Amino acid sequence: MNASPRVTLLLGSAPDVMRCSAWPKDAFASIVAINNAWRVRPDWDILVHAGDFPPERMPQPDPMRQIFSAAHYVPAQNSFGGFVYAGATMSLTAAYWSIHNQRPDALAFLGCDMIYDDAGDTHFYGTGRADPLRDDVTLQSLEAKSARLLIHALRRGTLCVNLSDLPRSRLVFPKFSFEAVRELSPSLLAAMQSELRAGIDLDAVEVADAMEREFGYFYEDGMYWNHLDQIDGAKLARIDRLWIAAVADLVAPPLEECNAAE
C-alpha cells in the first residue's frame, strides 16, 4: 500500500491561523511556524524567523524542535534564484526554505494570505506590521511572487495549497480544506500536480526564467538592499507580469496585479 503524501503545514500570523489549533498533529509530516506563529499551537516542529525577529519573542529552547534564521534560509533562497526574484517577505522565504530542506509532497499554507484590508486585528496576536505591503522593489506583485513559488515548487515535486477559507488571498495556490488534507492520496496528489502543470503557460515561464538570468539580480549574501541602485523595478515588473500570465488559466477570478505599496 502506498504511503500517504507528506504534507508540511506552514503557519503565518493572520488571525485565521487559529483555525488549526485543534487539528490533529498526525495529519501533517511537520508543522513549520513563521516568526510569532510558534505561539499558535504547542506542537510545532520548526520555527523559521526573520533575522530581525526580536529575541524576547523567541520560544524557549527545546531539543525536540529546530529553529532556523537567515544563515539557513539565505542559501535555500539562493537555490531558487535569490530574494530579488523570489520576493523578500517571510511567508515566501519560509516556503522556499521548506521546499528546499524538507521536500514535502505538499506544502499547506494557513495564515499567509497577506490581506490587510479588514478592520480589526491584522495578526492573531493583535496589530502587527504588514511586512508584505512595505515599499520594497521585490514585492511589487505578491500574486506574481506566489505564482513563481507555485511553479518552482512543482519543479521540485511539491504541490502548494492554501488552507485559508478567506474570500481573497494574494496566494494563487489551489484552495484546500483540512478534510482534503486528511484524504489526500498519492494518486490524487499526482493528478492535481498534472492538472496544474498542464495549465501553466510554459512559454511565459521560459521567458521569465530567461529574463531573470539576463538581468542577473543575484546577491549571494541575500542583502539585496545594499544593491538597490543596480535593480530596475520596471524590469522586475515585466518579470512579474510573465509569472502572472503563466498561471492565468489556473486562477479564477482573474488575478489582481496588486502593488505592495498599496
Mean pLDDT of the residues in the chain? 92
Within 35-185, residue ranges assigned H as helices are 70-78, 83-86, 90-102, 142-155, 178-183
**Residue 107 in this model has a pLDDT that exceeds 50:** yes
C-alpha cell of 50?
526573520
pLDDT surpassing 60 at residue 18? yes
The DSSP bridge partners found for residue 67 are 47
Cβ count near 237 (within 10 Å): 16
The string of pLDDT tens digits covering residues 21-73 is 999 999 999 999 999 999 999 999 999 999 999 999 999 989 999 999 999 99
Task: Map out the domains of the chain as residue ranges.
Answer: 7-250
pLDDT digits (tens, 9 = 90+) for 155-190: 999 999 999 999 899 999 999 999 999 999 999 999
**Apex 82 CA angle, 79 and 84, nearest 5:** 160
The rounded percent of the chain whose pLDDT value lies above 70 is 93
- pLDDT for 201-245, tens place per residue? 999 999 999 999 999 999 999 999 999 999 999 999 999 999 999
pLDDT band at residue 20, thresholds of 50, 70 and 90? Answer: very high
d(CA 148, CA 244): 8
In the chain, what percentage of residues exceed pLDDT 90?
A: 83
Confidence tier at 121 by pLDDT (50, 70, 90): confident
Asked if residues 245 and 148 have their Cβ atoms less than 8 Å apart, the reply is no
**Mean pLDDT of the 113-120 span:** 79
